[in-house]
Amino acid sequence: MTEQMTRRTLLTATAATLAAPALVPAAASAAPRVPSAVRELEDRIREAMELYAVPGVAFGLRYRGREYVRGFGVTSIADPSPVDGDTTVFRVASTTKTFTGTAAMRLVERGRLDLDRRVRAYLPGFRTSDPAASARVTVRQLLNHSAGWLGDYLLDTGSDDAALARYVAEMHRVPQLTPPGEVFSYNNAAISVAGRVIEVVTGRTYEQAVEDLLLEPLGLRRSGFDITRIPGARMAVPHVIDEAGNLVAQPERWSVPRSVNPAGGLISSARDQLRWARFHLGDGGRLLSRRSLHAMRSHPGPGGTLFVELDGAGVTWMLRPTAEGPTVVQHGGDWDGQHSGFLMVPERDFALTVLTNSDTGPALLDDLFIGDWALSRFAGVHNLPAVVRPVADLAGYAGSYTLQQIGFDGELVSLVLEIVADRGMLSVRVDGVEQMRLGFYRRDYAVVHLPDGTPTTQRVNFVRGRGGEVDWLRFGGRLLRRGGVAPLRTAGTLPFRLNPWI
């Protein structure tokens, strides 16, 4: 079922719920005075929902030792029910990766897994299209996004318990882009391979292993991979933009291939996501040692950009530098009609998670998770500065760049960008139409601008090969090959946030 929605009808549908129940601290039955910063966050969410036409949002916040959870708007414009922070569940997409990484660390502590052993120690027949890379890649490289093969491999291999094993068996078709361990490239496929390693080590399905190792002992009762098995859960129905530009509710978009569950299949509530943050900010209790928690968010692999600048990835956590020094530990996720953000600043005991049920959600999330406002208001830190200046000689960056993905049907899809120098910036074009502009703030690093020259909060960078020439553009964490081949099938125009890629 689909239902069209214009901004006017969205505002009518959500008017009552936007003014409904007062925000409730997570750890108290009687609400104390809510800090002004928390009220500001609520106001920003309301304003962004109206500005971007987002039907439903839930958030969880840890700030100054207290926790706050709240929902806004409706679960569906077709059948409106109020969103709350407890029973309303969203597809958190790529934040699932942090559950995969944490499950792996539990197995490390039990002596059943070694992150620095080669993948073939656990999956003897494992191979991608590159025999040498297949033999060398380690479990750690799976988890820090440096495995080096094409990461957006989304093949649907069925819904039975052997789906993940079949997916990994088909990895031989996946192109190797860079040698293992050398370059950061966001890699959904690598995390699914890590999920298969967890299956082999535990003798359980991935989903059951995560439930046994994490969800059950942590009391995350509104989290799981099958909404029918989550007591009392109400779906935050996905909403997408149709060809006429209308927002429509499409519950069928909720489905995720089981083969990519380790990379993005988890369903969860705002309160459970905040409990997840509390666990990672704490001492691990009886579940995981403080040392292992710290290891997950330190010693990153290769760095680069994933919408913001990164020091690199630890064990599935993205590690983001700040001007003041404390590290931001971050993730988030994107699926059709389901977009979320999640970040922590452990040194400041701060965490924020925001869940949305619409493809209009990323604009709201960008305001809170890529820009400076939330970090500065709640944790007193800021992004590294990015002062854009015109560059005279840009010839070394110009050329065609190819982005590739293997879809649910196993077909390779490509998108070719043409990048040309234009008035001290780079103009990024698809089929001759400018999609964005790139303004450099330091060598190889640029801020994304809209075609009219308006800067956004997002950053990209170019990657040089061993000979010193630019070989790749890293956009949204993915590598686009310079001088790549013409597309086998076009993927359409380039969005500023890649989705439904998890």
Q: In what order do the strands lie in the sheet with 247-249?
A: 4-5, 247-249, 239-241
Q: Which residues are catalytic?
A: 94
pLDDT at 501: 58
pLDDT at 30: 47
Backbone CA torsion sign across 189, 363, 378, 86: negative
* pTM, entire model: 0.92
d(CA 289, CA 283): 7
Asked if residue 236 lies in contact with residue 88, where contact means CB atoms within 8 angstroms, the answer is: yes
User: CA of 319: how far to CAs of 28, 182, 467, 468, in Å?
Assistant: 32, 17, 28, 26
d(CA 30, CA 27): 9
Characterize 294-331 residue by residue with b for buried, 16 or more Cβ atoms within 10 angstroms of its Cβ, and e for exposed: ebbbeebbbbbbbbbbbbbbbbbbbbbbbeeebbbbbb
Asked if residue 198 lies in contact with residue 261, where contact means CB atoms within 8 angstroms, the answer is: no
pLDDT at 130: 97
List of the chain residues with pLDDT < 50? 1-30, 486-500
d(CA 112, CA 104): 9
d(CA 458, CA 239): 24
